[in-house]
Homo-oligomer: A and B are copies of this chain.
Amino acid sequence: MTRQELVAQINKKGSFLCVGLDPDMDKLPAHILKEADPIYSFNKQIIDATHEYCVAYKPNTAFYEALGLEGWKSLEKTQHYLRNKYPDHFLIADAKRGDIGNTSAMYAKAFLEKLDFDSITVAPYMGEDSVKPFLIYPGKWVILLALTSNKGAADFQNLKTGDQALFAEVIRKSMAWGTSDNMMYVVGATRAEQLGEIRKLIPDHFLLVPGVGAQGGSLEEVVKYGMNKQCGLLVNASRSILYASSGADFAEKAKEEAKTLQLQMKTLLQHRA
């Protein structure tokens, strides 16, 4: 999916919401566990309930791998369901991969070719040759970790390297590896005050922003510091939508939660500079 197509979806729907598909067997509604493939059933119902209100879906691979072969099967089925039924949604494999060149090429094949995601999250620690193999697929995206939403982000990402923090150096250096048409960055909503600094470095790039909802980030703050003229934001919510209810009404409650976020986003989009 091109940047123009993504921006068109955002404008059409009045939403820059990404729904994180992190299905945790310990949190699924009891009645779903009786189904043949509970994860897939759960995802399908969440997707059908929320698709009008979001522009992207982001399965986190960890939640599928934790179930072994069955989990990988559910991930494949979820990706196929999304691609076939909702072809206008931007699909993110939240996989946080990255390895030496010949190995990153295999991860790229796994998620951008074998599984036809539009994008994959990539960890920057191993540098340029660990990221570039993901950038050879036309219309596909790398979403590089810059400043993450968790407490541990402070351990290394905020360390000063010369005049700037490591996360800023990751952005500065990696800008030469791709363009704003094939690279985005992960910036946690819990670091909204640093979004302004990041926007100065990359005025045009899209940012994938996790941390609104269960992790405590504020949507208004994210927009205040992070929005650009094209919107430039994909704000993710996972747990607050998926587990809005643990009962038979989980999909209905997920829909309400997604709709609430979308309505806030619509207002914020209308008031952008």
Contacts and interface: CB of A to CB of B under 8 A. Distances in A.
A266 to B, nearest CB: 28
A176 B265 CA distance: 42
A96 B104 CA distance: 11
Interface string A140-159: 00000100111111111101
A30 interface: no
Interface string A37-77: 00000000000000000000000101101111101110010
Contact of A161 (B107, B129, B159, B170): B159
Nearest to A154: B127
A156 B166 contact: yes
Interface residues of A, number: 58
A13 interface: no
Interface in A92-147: 96-101, 103-104, 106-107, 109-111, 114-115, 123-131, 145
- The residue in A98, A106, A161 that gathers the most chain B C-beta atoms within 10 A of its C-beta is A106
Contacts of A131: 152
Contact of A173 (B103, B104, B155): B155
A169 interface: yes
A160 interface: yes
Contact of A66 (B98, B114, B130, B170): B114
Nearest to A153: B127
Nearest to A123: B123
Nearest to A99: B96
B76 A69 contact: yes
A128 B100 contact: no
A100 B150 contact: yes
A221 interface: no
Contacts of A153: 126-127
Considering the complex of A and B, which 5 residue pairs feature the smallest CB-CB distances, nearest first? Answer: A127-B152, A127-B155, A62-B106, A65-B110, A66-B106
Interface of A: 22, 24, 60, 62-63, 65-69, 71-73, 76, 96-101, 103-104, 106-107, 109-111, 114-115, 123-131, 145, 148-157, 159-162, 166, 169-170, 173, 215
